[in-house]
Amino acid sequence: MAPSKIRIATASPATQPTTPETIAQIAHLAHRAASHNIDILLLPEAYLGGYPRGTNFGCVMGSRSAEGRDEYLRYFQAAVDLGDIVGEGGAGGLERWVRRELVGDDVYGEAGGKSGGEGGKVKNKRGDGTREELEKIARETGVFLVTGCIEKAGGSLYCSVVYVCPKMGMIGKRRKVMPTAIERLVWAQGSPATLRAVSTVIRGVRINLAAAICWENYMPMLRQSLYSQNINLYLAPTADGRDTWLPLMRTVAIEGRCFVVSSNMCVRKDGKKQQPKINGRPVLSQQQQQTDDSAIADPSPFDRGGRRSSVVTEEGFEIALPSPRSGSRGHPKKVRRQSIFDEDGNEIVLPCCDEQGNAEPEVEAEIDDETVSTTTAKTSQSVAPSAPTQAPKVDSGKTSKYCPVIDRSTGKADEFVSRGGSAIVSPFGDVLAGPQWEDDDGIIWADVDFEDCIRGRLDLDTAGSYSRNDSFKLTVEGLDMSPLPYH
């Protein structure tokens, strides 16, 4: 990499069954990121604590059930305590929290092995230790971490994002100002004062970054409040996996002339995980690498269920091999299954077919707009670990009909509660990496030149020359929108 280039990355991991397990997964991802020279890693909205997709906590208009209250108790207990306060309008302690200057640290407790009461004063660690754990992970790996979390303060929960610097620890935290729809049932509103951007310097490059959480990105004035602070890295952790999300990210990138990184969880219905990937390329075992460096072969050419042999290319395409002839390995001859060809000539076998190659009616009936969608047929170019300086190829922008991921052990399509879709976009709207569909263990990245943000402002600076701030005025209660410096 040239000295001016920074490697930014994102992933689509799912929250683990317990908060300690999720923290352990963050450590695992950060160490993997460090092994690939990644500088900044973004993780999804509500990653710590979890996104309670599909539940209503036993609430209907005018009634709350006892079971729902118990469910909320469990959710509250899974949230992290970062040692902050509620603060005015949900702002928390802001800079006082960052500098660890909140009152209440000195309390009566145990000193010298004796109980408190009238005993000596001791220093009480605020929070549950999550802040210290995340700071330790960033410090040990050298990766700047940004992750979503469900934060508890007082008796309320907040959907938050923390910025964790390897050298300075947590240099900022913000709380979602507008939870969406039923999220408002369990998440309190955060203060717009927490929208203040933060800065870090990596290898001499100053990066001004800020996060807009999920549908806050549909709030034009909130976006403008971030552009006004002269950010060059716009982060968008989300729970939105619709096909409409990526166009929004591309719009934000062009509008703000900044790099945009988005992260959304990929959650499998049965909770299982897939083979790890790095930048879209499956991580091969040493034995597999010796066998074939360009593709992963199906370990069983023809399994007992009669599933056809296939290989997966570096780009993640499954390519079907010819069906066995009649009598081969004791299997009867079968009609060839339906398939399609993408723009690059790769044959993709359609999974929902019977032995005669026809779509199964019961499967067709279950298909709707959310489970079958139009997505990019080819995402970023896979980058082998031996060539760390090569940036991912820009997405072609062309689309094809989405085909589900096939579980090789069963021959059935995996089912997802959330398909992910994490991505990285340039200040000119080019998709540099992703969208990362149905990959809950991979990391995608791009090597970027932050001077592209300045190049883009030759013709568009929505917070400066293109703002007409003599006529259009924006103020945000409690937020200093003074532009951060470049150096």
Nearest alpha-carbon partner for 5 in 204, 197, 139: 204
Instruction: Please spell the DSSP secondary structure of 205-239, one letter per residue.
Output: EEEEEEE--GGGGG-HHHHHHHHTTT-SEEEEEES
Instruction: Kindly state the tokens that stand for 452.
Output: 């592209």
173-198 burial code (b ≥16 CB/10 A, e <16): bbbbbbbbeebeebbbbbbbbbbbbb
Provide the residue type at 400 as one letter.
S
- In order of 53, 272, 401, 413, 471, the CA distances from 269 in angstroms are 12, 8, 22, 11, 51
> Which residue bears the tokens 């568009």?
460
Q: Rg for the chain (alpha carbons), in Å? A: 25
Spatial separation of the C-alpha atoms in residues 13 and 439, rounded to whole Å: 8
Spatial separation of the C-alpha atoms in residues 317 and 338, rounded to whole Å: 16
Partners of residue 67 on adjacent β-strands: none
Q: Given this model, what pLDDT does residue 302 score?
A: 31
What are the pLDDT digits (tens) for 287-325? 444 433 333 223 333 333 444 455 555 555 556 555 444
Spatial separation of the C-alpha atoms in residues 338 and 329, rounded to whole Å: 23
Instruction: For residue 45, indicate whether it is catalytic.
Output: yes
Please count the other Cβ atoms lying within 10 Å of the Cβ belonging to residue 269.
10
Nearest alpha-carbon partner for 76 in 56, 53, 52: 52
Q: Given this model, what pLDDT does residue 469 score?
A: 85
Q: Given this model, what pLDDT does residue 432 score?
A: 97
Q: Given this model, what pLDDT does residue 367 score?
A: 35
Nearest alpha-carbon partner for 12 in 134, 163, 147, 139: 147
What pTM does this model have?
0.72
Which portions of the chain are predicted below pLDDT 70? 1-3, 104-124, 271-347, 349-414
Pairing of strands 412-413, 406-407: antiparallel
Ranges assigned E (strand) in 176-315: 198-202, 205-211, 233-238, 259-264, 266-268, 277-278, 281-282, 295-297, 310-313
The single residue of 149, 159, 165, 214 carrying the catalytic annotation is 214
The single residue of 176, 183, 277, 453 carrying the catalytic annotation is 176
The single residue of 45, 135, 255, 438 carrying the catalytic annotation is 45
Backbone angles phi, psi at 377, to 5 degrees: -75, -30
Torsion 272-274-277-280 (CA) sign: negative
Spatial separation of the C-alpha atoms in residues 463 and 452, rounded to whole Å: 17
3-state secondary structure of 321: coil
Q: Given this model, what pLDDT does residue 347 score?
A: 66
Q: Given this model, what pLDDT does residue 398 score?
A: 35
Instruction: For residue 176, indicate whether it is catalytic.
Output: yes
Backbone angles phi, psi at 274, to 5 degrees: -105, 180
Partners of residue 399 on adjacent β-strands: 376
Contact 312, 295 (CB under 8 A): yes
